[in-house]
Structure 1
Amino acid sequence: MMKLIQVADLHFGRECKPAITAAISAINSLQADALIVAGDLTQRGKTSEFEAARDWLSQIPLPQIVVPGNHDTPMLNLYARAHEPFKRFCELFGEDMQTLKFPGLKIVGLNTARGWQVRRNWAEGSVNLDDLQDALGDTPELKALVCHHPFRPVPGAPLTTRTKRGARASQAIARSNVRMLFTGHVHQPAIQNWREEGGQYLAIGAGTLSDRLREWPPSFNEIQLNSGQVQVIAHAYEGTRFVPRKLGTFTL
């Protein structure tokens, strides 16, 4: 069995201090194979917030893949947000989108965040289809994709997403060898088997470890992969500890 941990929306600067502290031992106790970080490490894209996120991640000794979110751009520096939005992120986490490779599975990162867009809500996601095609590649191996924004709106979520070119991206990965899409942004754990013409994939969203809560307490996901079966368990912070809640089991 392979086990992955998925976190998102850490929002250092607005982190839930008791939950994010307790999450270190909770995650480490699960003895997973890798940690997936699906964006929004910071609240305002400040250097001190990125350093706090880096220090927190350094306490989880797992192979990690980290992608930026819309909050990982300089919120108060409009020039930097427009011209070099991910400079601070790249200084600590690298300029290239990361990749993790395991026997039978390759996990690939994709940046769907933008520092600025010509639309009212600049925080919404946007998929560069050329970048997506590069991430998909042309190899037959099973893949998972990590980005911050869901491609399709999450059913029942308190936040409706409008990811630019998200529908086309969803259709593209359904036709590809990608079988799991790991995201954040809506601050609520969820799993959905998306069916598109030509294929399907699992959209797996993580909650938040910040105090910017919607309908769920702070949480992270545990994903168990076993002989083509995928079980997703959300670990919710209740009182002083994380309590597992099964979200569902699916076949890849």
Structure 2
Amino acid sequence: MARIFHLSDLHFGAHDERLVEAVEERINAGRPDLVVISGDFTQRARTDQFEEACAFLTRLRDSGHEVLGVPGNHDVPLYDVLRRFLSPLTRYKRYIDETLCPFHEVPGAAVLGINTARSLTFKDGRINEEQMEFIRSTFARVGDVPRILVTHHPLFALPVSDGLEVGKAIGRQDLALDSIGEAGVDILLAGHNHRASTHSARDLATRAGPALVIQAGTATSTRLRDEEQSFNQIDIEGRDVVLTIQTWGGSGFVAGDTQGYRRDGDHWRPIAEAEADVETA
């Protein structure tokens, strides 16, 4: 079984230190195979904020945890115009990771991160053709295990309630969906919207393949959007994925509802529904 803790939108510089400590405690107790952080390590890409994020990552690694991260739009300088366009991710590479598209294999899963942050947009994301080919070629080399793609920006505009949607679809969405379909991507992890949710990709876009879309809320930021801070615990075993959202309870993170999904052919279904069909067959 592979266990992944999926964090996003840490926003060091606009964070709560109590939550940072509680996240570390929960990660140490949960002993994941990999900690995934899907962007926005900082609030404004300032050196002191990257230093705080770097110290957090150092503590995780010193505790024996593997970490995979990708940049978010907040990790690109906003007000320093020269740096924004000439060297937008220099500080990220110095303090977080020199690799903008990292890849990790853990027992039972292959995980690839792709940088969707761009200088020319303030908050929207994009995947270019070179990255699409990198997705295809990287996953072509892995065995028969779930393939997980990590981005900061969701590939889709996501439903909230009553027909409302949050965010925009990623730039070149159709081409991006084609590439992840060709690569056989099973699970999409992202953040950006500060809301936790789970969807079938095919419910979000008719062109999408059979991927399970898992969004993380903000783990440590004080910038909330109608829900408390949270992060995801994802347990993967064969065709089954069990998602447990860890939600801030005021003094620590507590496990919320557990949702189980099973890959059934080219579609993800709730495990309870899949097992009920087997019993009645």
TM-score, normalized by the shorter chain, greater than 0.5: yes
1:104 Cα deviation from its structure 2 partner = 4.1
Does 1:114 find its partner at 2:118? yes
TM-score, scaled relative to structure 2: 0.83
Relative distance call for 1:23 and 1:249 in structure 2 (3 A) is same
Report the 3-state secondary structure (helix = DSSP H, G, I; strand = E; otherwise coil) of the residue aligned with 1:58: helix
1:133-188 deviation per Cα after TM superposition (whole angstroms, max 9, x unaligned): 21221335342111100001122177322321124312431343211111110001
The counterpart of 1:239, out of the listed 250, 256, 264, is: 250
- Alignment-derived partner of residue 160 in structure 1: 167
Aligned-partner residue type, residue 141 of structure 2:
T
1:76-119 deviation per Cα after TM superposition (whole angstroms, max 9, x unaligned): 201110111101001121144211112442211100011223xx
Does 1:98 find its partner at 2:102? yes
- Alignment-derived partner of residue 215 in structure 1: 226
Equivalent pairs counted in the alignment come to: 248
Which has the higher mean CA deviation after the structures are superposed, 87-96 or 150-159? 150-159
Contact 1:39–1:148 (Cα < 8 Å) also in 2: yes
The counterpart of 1:249, out of the listed 260, 266, 275, is: 260
- Alignment-derived partner of residue 236 in structure 2: 225
Aligned-partner residue type, residue 148 of structure 2:
A
1:203 Cα deviation from its structure 2 partner = 1.1
Contact 2:72–2:152 (Cα < 8 Å) also in 1: yes
- Alignment-derived partner of residue 206 in structure 1: 216
Does 1:14 find its partner at 2:14? yes
1:211 Cα deviation from its structure 2 partner = 0.4
Q: How does 1:32-181 map to 2 (within 5 A)?
A: 32-60=32-60, 61-92=64-95, 93-117=97-121, 122-137=122-137, 138-139=140-141, 141=143, 142=145, 143-156=147-160, 159-181=166-188
Q: Which runs of 5+ in 2 are unaligned?
A: 264-281
4+ runs deviating over 6 angstroms: none
Aligned-partner residue type, residue 70 of structure 2:
V
Structure with the greater alpha carbon radius of gyration: 2
1:233 Cα deviation from its structure 2 partner = 1.1
1:199 Cα deviation from its structure 2 partner = 3.1
Report the 3-state secondary structure (helix = DSSP H, G, I; strand = E; otherwise coil) of the residue aligned with 1:59: helix
CA distance in 2: counterparts of 1:2 and 1:179, whole angstroms: 14
Report the 3-state secondary structure (helix = DSSP H, G, I; strand = E; otherwise coil) of the residue aligned with 2:217: coil
1:180-211 deviation per Cα after TM superposition (whole angstroms, max 9, x unaligned): 11111000111111125573101111110200
Contact 2:5–2:232 (Cα < 8 Å) also in 1: yes
Which has the higher mean CA deviation after the structures are superposed, 133-142 or 172-181? 133-142
CA distance in 2: counterparts of 1:96 and 1:194, whole angstroms: 25
Report the 3-state secondary structure (helix = DSSP H, G, I; strand = E; otherwise coil) of the residue aligned with 2:153: coil
Contact 1:152–1:170 (Cα < 8 Å) also in 2: no
Higher share in helix: 2
CA distance in 1: counterparts of 2:258 and 2:211, whole angstroms: 16
Q: % of aligned pairs identical?
A: 29
Contact 1:140–1:177 (Cα < 8 Å) also in 2: no
Report the 3-state secondary structure (helix = DSSP H, G, I; strand = E; otherwise coil) of the residue aligned with 2:59: coil
- Alignment-derived partner of residue 268 in structure 2: none
CA distance in 2: counterparts of 1:229 and 1:150, whole angstroms: 22
Q: Which runs of 5+ in 1 are unaligned?
A: none
